[in-house]
Amino acid sequence: MKPTSRRTVLQAGAAFGAAAMFWPYRSGAIAGCSQPSLAAAEAPRPERAVSLRSLLESKPNPDARLPGLTRIDGYVNVRDDLILWGLAEPDQPELYLGDFALAIKLAMYRPIAAMIGMEGFDHKVPAISIDPIPENMKKTNDIPADRSVKSKKRYAELCSLPQKVRVDGMPRNSRIAAVLVEADYRMKKVSQSNAELPISPPLPGTYDAVLKARQAGDLTGIGLRDTRYWFQAGEYNYQKSGGTVFLDKARVELRTEDQIFGTDTASGSVDAASEAFACAWTARIEEIEKSEPIWRDMSNIYRHFAIAQAYKQEISEGWNLSDNLWELIRSYEGAESSVPDTLPGLSKWDIFQVRNARGKVEGSFISRVCGGVKVGFTRNIARSARAASETSWVSAAIARSRPEPTAISWKIGPLSEPTAAERGLSLAPLKPSTSRVNLGQSNQTSTAATTTASSSTSHSGGDIDPRLLIPGFGIAAIILWKAISALAQEKTDT
């Protein structure tokens, strides 16, 4: 069988890959890691709503948040607007508007982004990776296996050389890319026992666990190996009732696989200690997300992409972003973040001693890691056959609680069964607006119960029936214009 390159493995084995691309991991990292299934939420807990259109029309600055919203659990689709709803936790930061706007852009327009002139986008699935430089990895093969202090020092020098930070499928200077790089690097430090998560009982890194086993005489799987870990979307599922979508399952997973030592080629096998670490991390993911801000931040980014993917899927059933709302989303740019070109490599080398029938045996234990994070969904998220009754009540509760048609953000009142008058007429559709975002002006947002848009556009009555949504023709027109221009240029060149 032809070896699988490290890059191919990253693209093939990560979030929601097609079955044909997924197979290299079934013999190890996936099949051997049994995790308890997430129970479907019995009922949604809508606490806060944000009108995406009203927020974008208020001319938000690049650092704008989704006022009062700390976790997106779903949305309600209305004509010319998208009402985001979810939790408003007092101990969590508000979500960034730029993160969600980018997730929507990537989900819906990534394949044609370059064609319609969206800078920083390409056809690749959104992902980051921290890659060892192959030339440096090969040099480690020349280090004498004598377990001397000199050899150990030389190995440490080579493995601490810079590793390339790669960003695919999204702008490199985006906040999403910066968060994923930080999370990936932090996880690898924990895996090598160079850092510890503030959880109890502790989650031991593989390095300490394996070294302890070696010193106790367990030589199972002994040999030189490189380990790669990667985060991916695990179990994601949503409910849909009318124009309301509720994300009732959401889990980020950690996976692992070995590479042939000193190369970027997947070995096709999984080290037991590395797999145990990845499985333990995934099993305790909810606890880990509460332990440090970076993990909750990463989890929210995955939720943004899941919600965006669900929205994209529903478009195929007749929903669509209106030209006005899409133009507002496309025009908005979140604040830039710095992503380093390289990061120091991570590795360890220790000598262990094992006593057996023949006396003392001395050996070297070497550990180094690489890998990445993939957040793009390359296949559809599962949709529940039946939605909870409370999911169908969300849109009525949001409309009932909205203090005025131009409100940006508001507290959602208790869920209750909609009245006859509220069914199908829960949210007022918005009249088309000619306003556009001026990125040069700042927006003063508030986390109070109500935030009102500064736009003077008036909003009035209607319903949320998807059949009444206004189709958007702008993107199709742009694509057609680009194609005609390309053909004309080709004819001119010949």
Contact in structure between 87 and 45 (CB atoms under 8 Å): yes
Q: Which is higher by pLDDT, 415 or 4?
A: 415
> Which region among 134-138, 146-150, 443-447 has the lowest average model confidence (pLDDT)?
443-447
Contact in structure between 378 and 18 (CB atoms under 8 Å): yes
Which pLDDT score is estimated for 71? 97
Nearest Cα to Cα of residue 102 among 9, 167, 186, 12: 167
> Is 415 contained in some domain?
no
Q: Which is higher by pLDDT, 203 or 484?
A: 203
Task: Determine the average pLDDT of the residues in 453-460.
Answer: 36
> Which region among 26-30, 63-67, 347-351 has the lowest average model confidence (pLDDT)?
26-30
> Is 222 contained in some domain?
yes
Locate 218 and state its tokens.
């367990």
Confidence of residue 307 (pLDDT cuts 50, 70, 90): very high
According to DSSP, the β-strands at 382-383 and 226-241 are parallel
Most trustworthy range by pLDDT among 5-14, 259-268, 427-436, 441-450: 259-268
Which pLDDT score is estimated for 273? 80
Partnered with residue 239 across adjacent β-strands are: 246
Which pLDDT score is estimated for 311? 92
Nearest Cα to Cα of residue 137 among 476, 413, 366: 366
Partnered with residue 138 across adjacent β-strands are: none
Nearest Cα to Cα of residue 407 among 386, 438, 430: 430
Could you report how far apart the first and last alpha carbons of the chain are, in Å?
A: 45
Contact in structure between 56 and 328 (CB atoms under 8 Å): yes
Confidence of residue 8 (pLDDT cuts 50, 70, 90): very low
Which pLDDT score is estimated for 321? 62
User: How far is the C-alpha of 274 from the C-alpha of 2, rounded, in Å?
Assistant: 24
pLDDT at 19 over 50: no
> Which region among 33-47, 72-86, 153-167 has the lowest average model confidence (pLDDT)?
33-47
> Is 92 contained in some domain?
yes
Which residues lie closer than 8 Å to 214 by C-beta, 6 or more apart?
Answer: 222, 352, 354, 363, 365
Task: Determine the average pLDDT of the residues in 125-151.
Answer: 78
Which pLDDT score is estimated for 435? 35
User: How far is the C-alpha of 48 from the C-alpha of 70, rounded, in Å?
Assistant: 9
Q: What is the residue range of 170's domain?
A: 4-383
Which pLDDT score is estimated for 294? 98
Instruction: Look at the chain and report how many structural domains it folds into.
Output: 1
Which pLDDT score is estimated for 445? 36
Alpha-carbon Rg for the chain in angstroms: 25
pLDDT, tens only, 83-137: 999 999 999 999 999 999 999 999 887 766 656 666 667 778 899 998 877 777 7
> Which region among 43-52, 213-222, 247-256 has the lowest average model confidence (pLDDT)?
213-222
Q: Which residue has the tokens 């221009």?
A: 485
User: How far is the C-alpha of 110 from the C-alpha of 127, rounded, in Å?
Assistant: 13
Contact in structure between 432 and 451 (CB atoms under 8 Å): no
Which pLDDT score is estimated for 456? 35
Q: Give the count of beta carbons closer than 10 Å to the beta carbon of residue 287.
A: 13
Which residues lie closer than 8 Å to 345 by C-beta, 6 or more apart?
Answer: 132, 136, 159, 160, 161, 162, 163, 368
pLDDT at 225 over 70: no
> Is 354 contained in some domain?
yes
Q: Which is higher by pLDDT, 413 or 215?
A: 413
Q: Which is higher by pLDDT, 390 or 457?
A: 390
Mean pLDDT (the chain, rounded): 74
Which pLDDT score is estimated for 334? 96
> Which region among 160-174, 258-272, 295-309, 435-449 has the lowest average model confidence (pLDDT)?
435-449
Which residues lie closer than 8 Å to 179 by C-beta, 6 or more apart?
Answer: 294, 297, 298, 301, 337
The identity of residue 122, as a single letter, is D
Which pLDDT score is estimated for 484? 52
Which pLDDT score is estimated for 118? 65
Most trustworthy range by pLDDT among 18-32, 233-247, 258-272, 381-395: 233-247
> Is 138 contained in some domain?
yes
Confidence of residue 220 (pLDDT cuts 50, 70, 90): low
Which pLDDT score is estimated for 22? 20
Which pLDDT score is estimated for 259? 53
Confidence of residue 440 (pLDDT cuts 50, 70, 90): very low
Residue length, the chain? 494
pLDDT, tens only, 25-44: 223 333 345 555 555 555 78
Confidence of residue 221 (pLDDT cuts 50, 70, 90): low
> Is 324 contained in some domain?
yes
Task: Determine the average pLDDT of the residues in 192-199.
Answer: 91
Which pLDDT score is estimated for 229? 87
Q: Which residue has the tokens 């050389």?
A: 161
Segment (H or E) for 87: strand 81-87
Contact in structure between 228 and 259 (CB atoms under 8 Å): yes
User: How far is the C-alpha of 202 from the C-alpha of 33, rounded, in Å?
Assistant: 20
Cα three-residue angle 418-39-101, rounded to 5 degrees = 65
pLDDT above 90 as % of the chain: 37
Q: Kindly list the distances between the CA atom of residue 133 and the CA atoms of 101, 142, 159, 257, 426, in Å, as whole numbers in the listed order.
A: 33, 16, 10, 18, 56
Confidence of residue 227 (pLDDT cuts 50, 70, 90): confident
Task: Determine the average pLDDT of the residues in 410-438.
Answer: 60
Which residues lie closer than 8 Å to 322 by C-beta, 6 or more apart?
Answer: 79, 80, 432, 469, 470, 472
Partnered with residue 407 across adjacent β-strands are: 452
Which pLDDT score is estimated for 417? 77
> Is 379 contained in some domain?
yes
Cα three-residue angle 46-48-49, rounded to 5 degrees = 100
Locate 464 and state its tokens.
């949320």
**What torsion do the CA atoms of 282, 288, 293, 299 make, to the nearest 10 degrees?**
30
pLDDT at 300 over 90: yes
> Is 424 contained in some domain?
no
